[in-house]
């Protein structure tokens, strides 16, 4: 089997045993990227062949001297291009930061680099992580490896496409309203959003600060646990980082049954608008979960219907505040030939931001404006508390909640670009977990009649990623969906 087809755990075992070298891994992935990247367009930037082979040689040389390996040593990773990487361009998929090279690493990068992986490049995304299809990238859309006419999801579409197309063994994404789980579902891979505060946000270019969270996109649940082990933990540089012990998440990927776990089925997630094929696959997955020991229980989350409106007030308000810094003065793009300061501000933001980012800035600015703050933003925060309380009440009865990830399989490129509301509804099932700060995972659970992946979402209590991973792993082992891979034709 080609090296690029292996899972992270399989590749790790071959490298640790000495069966393969870091150089062989680097060359295998460089070859794979050269074969399929022109079709998938998963990356905004790819590290040079010389740099990657030099890093791989340094790992191999060091290994001969030290005889010690780390879990991610020599593992080829993709990094979403809104995570700061020292000396590597970080664009956020925007012309505003097209030439920005950070002078420091995000905390997750510092933690990854301590284990000496191979960083292959920076993956594509919707501009400033605002989107559900990766079509809002200033550098063009990524494409779904299962069907290049379809979206890979968003905003971490490049990361999910890269993993599905074997252009990296694992990747980092960020999730503000579903941006890890939704593209993972579209591309038939695993996407884990940790609890808010479990992973440091320091060095993640902010979209909505009370919602953003970094997490892994991988081929299997075990691989997600390995990645989470590497990046989780308290960080004094992030005031929202939780000072809690971090367990070994790989211990959750050992049992193949769900005995003593209660699985909740929220009926609000199975209402009008859910595609019949998606509903069928989710109900089949629920039967599997029951068959391996889970106790199935119907539950209700009455505030679910308010989640979309709540999210698009809070997220846009925070985006408006966070993106105010891009004015052409401090760093990033600056419009030329402006005579006055106000004209320079106007021209810079008009030319530097794409239409979706402008739309969200305007919505957020309006929600925060004098006379409307309490009516919109203040009320949205109150409803957010109601949504959190719904989850708190339900999690007194159940251990894990099960739902679809998306109402439909991946839609075609261009299909919803002129209909923002339909685009926003793609995240209707993922947004509540962000509003409540919960851990949630997407795992493959089937294929549509058109051969497009369908994802199953599992949500858990805050800081109980171990239980979410246990349930996901048990389902994964009881089915064969993890072995289904796209065929990318020339």
DSSP string covering 351-405: HHS-HHHHHHHHHHHHHHSTTTTIIIIIHHHHHHHHHHHHHHHHTTT-SEEEEES
Q: With contact defined as beta carbons under 8 Å apart, do 465 and 244 qualify?
A: no
Q: Which of 155, 200, 241, 426 is catalytic?
A: 155
Distance of alpha carbon 133 from alpha carbon 168, whole angstroms: 20
The backbone region for 206, taken as left when phi is positive above 0, alpha when psi lies in -120 to 50, beta otherwise, is: beta
Rounded to 5 degrees, φ, ψ at 453 are -65, 150
Distance from CA of residue 172 to its chain's centroid?
7
Q: Which of 179, 303, 320, 442 is catalytic?
A: 179
- Which helix (H) or strand (E) is 472 found in, with range? helix 465-478
Distance of alpha carbon 69 from alpha carbon 12, whole angstroms: 9
Catalytic site includes residue 155: yes
DSSP string covering 282-315: HHHHHHHHHHTTPEEEEE--TTGGGHHHHHHHHH
Catalytic site includes residue 80: yes
Q: Which of 9, 41, 80, 193 is catalytic?
A: 80
Catalytic site includes residue 330: no
Distance of alpha carbon 228 from alpha carbon 465, whole angstroms: 9
DSSP string covering 75-90: -EEEEETTB-BTTB--
Distance of alpha carbon 311 from alpha carbon 323, whole angstroms: 17
Distance of alpha carbon 105 from alpha carbon 85, whole angstroms: 5
Q: With contact defined as beta carbons under 8 Å apart, do 240 and 220 qualify?
A: no
For 135, residues 6+ apart whose C-beta sits below 8 A from its C-beta are 126, 141, 151, 154, 413, 414, 417
Distance of alpha carbon 2 from alpha carbon 199, whole angstroms: 33
Distance of alpha carbon 470 from alpha carbon 254, whole angstroms: 8
List active site positions.
Answer: 80, 155, 179
């Amino acid at each position: 089997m080609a090296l690029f087809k292996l899972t992270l755990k399989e590749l790790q075992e071959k490298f640790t045993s000495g069966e393969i070298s870091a150089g062989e891994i680097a060359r295998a992935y460089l070859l794979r990227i050269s074969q399929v990247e022109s079709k998938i367009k998963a990356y905004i930037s790819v590290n040079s062949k010389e740099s990657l082979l030099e890093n791989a040689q340094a790992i191999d040389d060091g290994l001969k001297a030290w005889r010690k390996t780390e879990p991610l040593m020599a593992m080829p990773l993709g990094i979403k291009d809104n995570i700061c990487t020292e000396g590597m361009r970080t664009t956020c998929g925007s012309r505003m930061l097209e030439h920005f090279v950070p002078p420091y690493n995000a905390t997750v990068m510092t933690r990854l680099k301590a284990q000496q992986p191979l960083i292959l490049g920076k993956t594509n995304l919707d501009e400033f992580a605002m989107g559900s299809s990766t079509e809002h990238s200033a550098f063009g859309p990524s494409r779904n490896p299962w069907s290049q006419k379809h979206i890979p999801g968003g905003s971490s579409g490049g990361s999910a496409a890269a993993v599905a197309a074997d252009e990296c063994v694992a990747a980092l994404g960020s999730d503000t309203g579903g941006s890890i789980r939704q593209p993972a579902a579209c591309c038939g891979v695993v996407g884990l959003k940790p609890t808010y505060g479990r992973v440091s946000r320091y060095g993640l270019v902010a979209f909505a600060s009370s919602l953003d969270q970094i997490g892994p996109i991988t081929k299997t649940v075990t691989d997600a646990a390995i990645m989470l082990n590497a990046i989780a933990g308290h960080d004094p540089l992030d005031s929202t980082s939780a000072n809690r012990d971090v367990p070994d998440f790989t211990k959750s990927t050992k049992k193949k049954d769900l005995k003593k776990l209660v699985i909740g089925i929220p009926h609000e997630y199975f209402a009008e608008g859910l595609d019949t094929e998606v509903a069928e696959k989710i109900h089949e997955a629920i039967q599997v979960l029951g068959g391996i020991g889970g106790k199935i229980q119907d539950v209700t989350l009455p505030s679910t219907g308010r989640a979309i409106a709540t999210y698009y007030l809070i997220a846009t308000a925070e985006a408006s505040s966070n993106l105010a810094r891009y004015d052409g003065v401090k760093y990033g793009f600056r419009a030329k030939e402006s005579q006055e300061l106000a004209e320079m501000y106007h021209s810079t933001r008009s030319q530097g931001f794409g239409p979706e980012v402008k739309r969200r800035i305007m919505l957020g600015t309006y929600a925060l404006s004098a006379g409307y703050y309490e009516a919109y933003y203040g009320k949205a925060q109150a409803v957010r508390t109601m949504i959190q309380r719904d989850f708190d009440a339900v999690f007194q009865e159940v251990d894990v909640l099960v739902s679809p990830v998306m109402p439909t399989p991946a839609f075609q490129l261009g299909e919803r670009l002129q209909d923002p509301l339909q685009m926003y509804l793609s995240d209707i099932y993922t947004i509540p977990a962000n509003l409540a700060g919960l851990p949630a995972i997407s795992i493959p659970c089937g294929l549509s009649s058109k051969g497009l992946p369908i994802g199953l979402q599992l949500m858990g209590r805050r800081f109980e990623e171990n239980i979410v991973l246990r349930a996901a792993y048990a389902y994964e082992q009881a089915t064969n969906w993890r072995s289904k891979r796209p065929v990318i034709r020339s």
